[in-house]
Amino acid sequence: MFATFKLLFVYLTLGTVAGLLGIPYSILIGDIGPLYRTGMRIVRAGLRVAGIRTEVIGVENVPTDRSCIFMCNHVSNLDPPVLLPLLPGRSSVLLKKELMRIPILGRAMRMAKFIPVERSSRRDAAKASVTAAADALRSGLHIVVFPEGTRSLDGRLSTFKKGPFYLAQETQAPIVPIAISGTQRMMKKGSAAITPGLARVQILPPIESSLYATRDELMQAVRKSIAAALPPEMQPVTT
């Protein structure tokens, strides 16, 4: 648990200072960019003190001329802090609505156009999230989404939700699949304990949403791409 305490100490102390100073400054200059970049540096610092190393390949696969939707498998609470600082440009994230209630952090995330998602079957709530994500894409941001909707119980790639693929087809934004591994051993689902180690992130070639006639076809193409890049013990069980 010592690694967990060190990570939380960095995030709570540096994050609070950055928020208290950076939020008013961002409002004053009308630009959240400096605060976002500072936040990513703090995220990286927290990972380092917790003994979490990262290895990324395939950054050259990210389109440089347009916004895209990053879709990644999800096996640990460490996935977002590992992934976000590695991505070029600025990204918005689809995340649980409850996280927006965290003091200071919640305000910063709203200013950065992070998108709250309700874990319910309400159609209007889902539509509102898709609309907000589409607006973020049109403003020049990337979108990060974990299409499984929750962390995998056993580390294997599970089924995808259809909502993110509706967003992709509505906006015609390219999808950049991402395979992450190693985090499932460093912070398991249901545990707050962190075990230092190496997280591997592979950014895969983009998939053009416009080339697929249906959401199901697009979803299967993305899932197949991520599955093929994962180690055997994380690939979905075929029946």
**CATH number for the domain including 173?**
3.40.1130.10
Per-residue pLDDT of 180-196, as tens digits, reads 999 999 998 778 899 99
> Predicted confidence band at 153 (pLDDT cuts at 50, 70, 90)?
confident
Asked whether residue 28 is domain-assigned, the answer is no
Q: For the chain, how are helix, strand and coil distributed in percent, rounded to 5?
A: 50, 15, 35
Determine contact, residues 230/181, Cβ cutoff 8 Å: yes
Determine contact, residues 145/132, Cβ cutoff 8 Å: no
- Mean pLDDT, the chain, integer: 91
Sign of the Cα torsion 156, 157, 158, 161 reads positive
pLDDT score at 120 = 60
Per-residue pLDDT of 36-58, as tens digits, reads 999 999 999 999 999 999 999 99
Asked whether residue 204 is domain-assigned, the answer is yes
Asked whether residue 31 is domain-assigned, the answer is no
Q: Residue 16: is its pLDDT beyond 90?
A: yes
Q: Residue 239: is its pLDDT beyond 60?
A: no
**Domain assignment of residue 77, given as a range:** 53-234
Per-residue pLDDT of 68-91, as tens digits, reads 999 999 999 999 999 999 999 999
Asked whether residue 7 is domain-assigned, the answer is no
The 3-state secondary structure of 109-174, one letter per residue: HHHCCCEEECCCCCHHHHHHHHHHHHHHHHCCCEEEECCCCCCCCCCCCCCCCCHHHHHHHHHCCC
Tally of domains in the chain = 1
pLDDT score at 147 = 93
Asked whether residue 69 is domain-assigned, the answer is yes
pLDDT score at 100 = 84
Asked whether residue 219 is domain-assigned, the answer is yes
Share of the chain above pLDDT 70, in %: 97
Asked whether residue 82 is domain-assigned, the answer is yes
Share of the chain above pLDDT 90, in %: 67
Asked whether residue 35 is domain-assigned, the answer is no
pLDDT score at 190 = 79
Per-residue pLDDT of 84-114, as tens digits, reads 999 999 999 888 888 888 888 888 988 888 9
pLDDT score at 69 = 96
Give the position of tokens 């912070």: 187
What burial class does residue 156 get, using C-beta atoms within 10 Å of its C-beta: 0-12 exposed, 13-18 middle, 19+ buried?
middle
Sign of the Cα torsion 205, 210, 215, 221 reads negative
